[in-house]
Amino acid sequence: MAKQMHDTPMLDQLESGPWPSFVTGLKRLANDNDMMVDLLGQLETSYQTRKGYWKGGTVGVIGYGGGIIPRFTELKKDGKPIYPDAAEFHTLRVMPPPGMHYDTNTMRKFCDIWEKYGSGLIAFHGQSGDIMFQGCSTDNVQPAFDEINEMGFDLGGAGPAVRTGMSCVGAARCENSCFDEGRTMRMLVNNALDDMHRPALPYKFKYKVSGCPNDCMNSVQRADLATIGTWRDDMKVDQEEVKAFVAKAGRKYVIDNVITRCPTQALSLNDDDTLAVDNPSCVRCMHCINVMNKALSPGDDKGVTLLCGGKRTLKIGDLMGTVIVPFHKMETDEDFEWLEELATEILDFFAENALEHERTGEMIERIGLTNFLEGVGLEIDPNMISRPRMNPYFRSDDWDEEAAKWAERSAQ
Amino acid sequence: MSEPRMPIESGVPEMEPYLHPVLKKNYGQWAWHERPRPGVLHHVAKSGDSIWTVRAGTQRQMDVYTIRKLMDIADEFAEGYVRFTIRSNIEYMVSEESKVQPLIDKLEAEGFPIGGTGNSVSMISHTQGWLHCDIPGTDASGAVKALMDDLHHEFTHEEMPNRVRMTTSCCQINCGGQGDIAINIQHTKPPKIDHDQVANVCERPSVVARCPVAAIRPAMVNGKPSLEVDEKKCICCGACFPPCPPMQINDPEHSKFAIWVGGKNSNARSKPTFHKLVASGVPNNPPRWPEVSKIVMQILNAYKADAKDWERIGEWAERIGWPKFFEKTGLPFTKYHIDNWRGGRDNLNASAHIRF
Ligand code: HEM
Ligand code: HEM
Ligand code: SF4
Ligand code: SF4
Ligand code: SF4
Ligand code: SF4
């Protein structure tokens, strides 16, 4: 039995309603956990005053410079914490397996460890993709980490470092998967563990991996290096299934929701209710495959598209990742080695050339895509642009040489 | 004294040991899938194997009792394996169809809503807020809990024209990310500077560099080195606050919510897009933020009534046009909707395309 609960009239109002309530969970923990009693006290104060009361600091584990998010209370009276048992409430960021799969035994072990050393509150998962073990005293951070680490789990990234990666469920349970997303994500992150655990980059760097252009991992908007599956041969069409779909959904539905919704007018419904696909016009957007997933599927010659520079607001505004490699196979060990080397190249270039607190997208905006490509040893490709330049502000002294390169590349 | 324990720098663990055996066996060999009902996916592998997935909403920040309960359900009603989606929904995989209904019944009896698949409003991806972040203007878990109570029907049914993926962020940094609807803190007053603190804690150059509009200058205040903010220039973004806590941007009254629509990461049909501002000045009103819910419901109701099948909210707005969007949602159009940031002219109508 823990110490007496504080009154929480505002938080109590979040216990009603049909959605599972985190407040009910916090209160349950507070039954026998003083840290949670005081956490509820501080949180209720925030609800009353509409102010936050945490500040950062430095807390870590031996051997690493990141992965712990330190939190100390600022809610004090006469220099003493008003809620002393939650005066330290640190988070351990721990990397899940790719695809966030678990067996029940592992989950139970997490619970036991966190009941022993922490508050008993775990978030599955943070926006960066970590398991967040929330609420730990400074003293308990090391032993909690040690036990989690012995289970085979490691800390994720925080600060100016390589951050925890994310990959979609993909090959494990999705017919759209164009490569081994889990292997790719693991390889990318595990190749950069030094830059993850010892933060010394200009700013954060994120890898996200999606098995197809549906981009379930939101990589185009959030990853410094987005790896998205695609294919370069014809999409696969099972005409019998197409006919079955048309028979069931109706021609009007198929015309209104499949044929006319193709962004590049690559589809046409034949008179016999089979589908004609103009594959060179198809941009692999996934729409028709999503609607008719039994009839249509990605082709056999699969691989990945790489995009670089996605990020959120700070400082110059949101940026999408843009194409830096239109297509590369991702099947053999050599393919994976190629990606590992390229990712290292990009990370090194970022480390050396980005200004402090600049993400890859901002760096590319500042120096220009061509300089970036040259720096990391990639060749230009018209797939990297939506349209050519629309202004005459460039110097083209060596136009002829550049044009010759194109001829050379095209001849290959 | 014994040697300190050094970490085993093992990185991301392997997936295999945690993978349901049917998923392991058919890795990369899936053929197609269907959704027999909201919250249930049925995937069929090329081998002919089937797996049924039951998806349930959680509160994301879970106490160990809730987690153990979910694991008991996994052992008793499923097959001992679970996974989580990017939006904190839990998924149970079972290899026999007969296990689906009892699993659903048990989860529902324990208060976990079944849904979040297909054309539903899935769980709102959210951030930390007052519970754990050092810079929040509001609480993420609370706002999300209140909204999901209102959206329970839309989570458990697939009645929207296309999927709706929402996000919240408790500061303008926006950990929550892009969304069909994004609900983000928007400050309306420049930071109040705590000059005593600046002298003690602040790395002045890094704060000055952080400001997107160069509104911060080093200054001497009361004989001590401090900072000053050109309040006319300041756009109240809050970027100076994380590196410099004395730049107090959060304000109980003047930190409001802005609501954005039309963010989309998928490449399906249109290219990925960022979300666009549709409403601001919404009060930050804990514990249930009713004003936020009201606007979200206005947008969702108009979208549900008017959009075509497969149209995401942003695609719908682009088709009917922004004048109609504001008309149909009943939201006011203001001068603040007109983009004046870098590259903002791209967002003006450079054509005679006008809808009447
Ligand atoms: C001491 C400072 C900071 C701490 C402790 C911190 C903590 C966090 C945490 C815990 C998350 C995950 C949130 C969740 O999943 O609920 C997160 C995500 C994020 N943070 Fe921070 N943050 C800090 C500073 C910043 C700054 C200065 C920026 C931007 C300039 C920033 C941008 C982001 C973004 C964009 C995400 C979402 C990332 C994604 O998933 O793509 N953070 N941060
Ligand atoms: C004797 C010298 C020049 C004369 C008489 C002259 C005359 C003009 C005239 C009559 C216009 C059209 C204004 C309008 O659209 O109403 C114009 C536009 C312009 N001129 Fe000149 N110009 C001269 C030199 C230059 C030079 C040397 C440059 C650049 C190096 C230049 C750049 C421009 C530009 C950029 C525009 C605007 C084009 C547009 O936005 O449509 N002009 N000039
Ligand atoms: S990104 Fe594509 S392959 Fe990955 S889970 Fe989503 S639809 Fe499937
Ligand atoms: S995948 Fe997209 S672009 Fe390609 S045919 Fe289908 S709808 Fe058209
Ligand atoms: S959105 Fe801002 S306040 Fe909220 S968790 Fe992220 S950094 Fe903290
Ligand atoms: S709030 Fe933003 S615009 Fe205002 S001073 Fe701080 S960084 Fe600059």
Which ranges in A259-359 belong to alpha helices (H)?
287-291, 333-353
Domain spanning A236-297, CATH architecture: 2-Layer Sandwich (3.30)
Give A142's contacts in chain B (Cβ within 8 Å).
Answer: 5
Ligand 3 binding pocket mutation candidate from A178, A212, A222 (most atoms within 8 A of CB)? A212
Instruction: Evaluate whether A209 touches A189 at the Cβ level (below 8 Å).
Output: no
Which of A124, A253, A294 should we substitute to test contact with B (largest number of B Cβ atoms within 10 Å)?
Answer: A124
Is B261 domain-assigned?
yes
Residue B91, min C-alpha distance to chain A (Å): 9
Cross-strand partners of B185: B257
**Which DSSP category does A96 fall into?**
P
Give A63's contacts in chain B (Cβ within 8 Å).
Answer: 6-7, 9
Same domain as B336, residue B219: no
| Record: contact B18-A101, CB cut-off 8 A | yes
Distance CA(A148)–CA(A118), nearest Å, equals 12
Is B240 domain-assigned?
yes
Same domain as B281, residue B178: yes
Per-range mean pLDDT, top range of A126-140, B190-204, B212-226: A126-140
Is B349 domain-assigned?
no
Same domain as B24, residue B84: yes
Q: Is the pLDDT of residue B1 over 60?
A: no
The class that CATH gives domain A166-232+302-411 is alpha beta
Work out the widest C-alpha separation in chain B, in whole angstroms: 81
State the pLDDT at residue B57: 98
CB nearest A152 (choices: B10, B62, B134): B10
CA of A347 to the centre of ligand 6 (A): 29
State the pLDDT at residue B126: 85
What is the token pair recorded at B290? Answer: 């009713």
Cross-strand partners of A349: none
Is B124 domain-assigned?
no
| Record: contact A29-B65, CB cut-off 8 A | yes
Indicate the number of domains in chain B.
Answer: 3
Q: Which ligand is nearest to the CA of B227?
A: 6
Same domain as B162, residue B234: no
Same domain as B273, residue B145: yes
Judge whether A344 is closer than 8 Å to chain B, CB to CB. no
Same domain as B24, residue B78: yes
Q: What is the three-class DSSP state of B99?
A: helix
Residue B71 maps to which CATH number?
3.30.70.3340
Cβ partners under 8 Å of residue B232, min gap 6: none
State the pLDDT at residue A254: 98
CA of A392 to the centre of ligand 2 (A): 15
Is B209 domain-assigned?
yes
Cβ partners under 8 Å of residue A281, min gap 6: A264, A265, A266
Cα A331 to Cα A183, A263, A303, B12, B19, distances in angstroms: 11, 29, 8, 21, 21
| Record: contact A154-B12, CB cut-off 8 A | yes
Same domain as B197, residue B168: no
For chain A, which ranges sit under pLDDT 50?
none
Same domain as B96, residue B53: yes
- What band does B220 get if pLDDT is binned at 50, 70 and 90? confident
Domain boundary (B178, B212, B247) is at B247
CB nearest A318 (choices: B85, B267, B274): B274
The residue segments making up the domain with residue B98 are: 16-109
Same domain as B259, residue B159: yes
Give the residue extent of every domain in chain A.
9-150, 166-232+302-411, 236-297
State the pLDDT at residue A323: 98
For tokens 């109701």, name the residue: B301
For residue B139, the chain A residue with the least C-alpha distance is A47
Backbone angles phi, psi at B178, to 5 degrees: -75, 150
The whole-model pTM stands at 0.86
Residue B239 maps to which CATH number?
3.30.70.20
Domain spanning A9-150, CATH architecture: 2-Layer Sandwich (3.30)
Is B291 domain-assigned?
yes
| Record: contact B80-A115, CB cut-off 8 A | no
Distance of CA B23 to the CA centre of its chain: 28
Same domain as B95, residue B197: no
What does the DSSP assignment read for B133-198? -SS-SS-HHHHHHHHHHHTHHHHHS--SSS-B-EEEESSTT-TT---SEEEEEEE-SPPEE-HHHH
Is B121 domain-assigned?
no
Is B23 domain-assigned?
yes
Same domain as B179, residue B41: no
Residue B184 maps to which CATH number?
3.30.413.10
- For chain B, the straight-line distance linking the first and the last C-alpha, in angstroms and rounded, comes to 81
Is the minimum distance from the CB of B136 to ligand 5 under 6 angstroms?
yes
For tokens 């949670």, name the residue: A36
B106, B107, B110, B115: CA torsion to nearest 10? -140
Rounded average pLDDT over B277-301: 96
Instruction: Evaluate whether B59 touches B145 at the Cβ level (below 8 Å).
Output: yes
| Record: contact A173-B51, CB cut-off 8 A | yes
Instruction: Write the pLDDT tens digit of every residue in A98-151.
Output: 999 999 999 999 999 999 999 999 999 998 899 999 999 999 999 999 999 999
Nearest to B163 by CA among B268, B64, B62, B58: B268
The complex scores an ipTM of 0.94
State the pLDDT at residue B269: 97
Which one has a higher pLDDT value, B129 or B77? B77
- What band does B94 get if pLDDT is binned at 50, 70 and 90? very high
Would A9-150 and A236-297 be classified into the same CATH topology? Answer: yes
Cross-strand partners of A253: none
Is the minimum distance from the CB of A57 to ligand 1 under 6 angstroms?
no
Same domain as B308, residue B269: yes
Is the minimum distance from the CB of B170 to ligand 5 under 6 angstroms?
yes
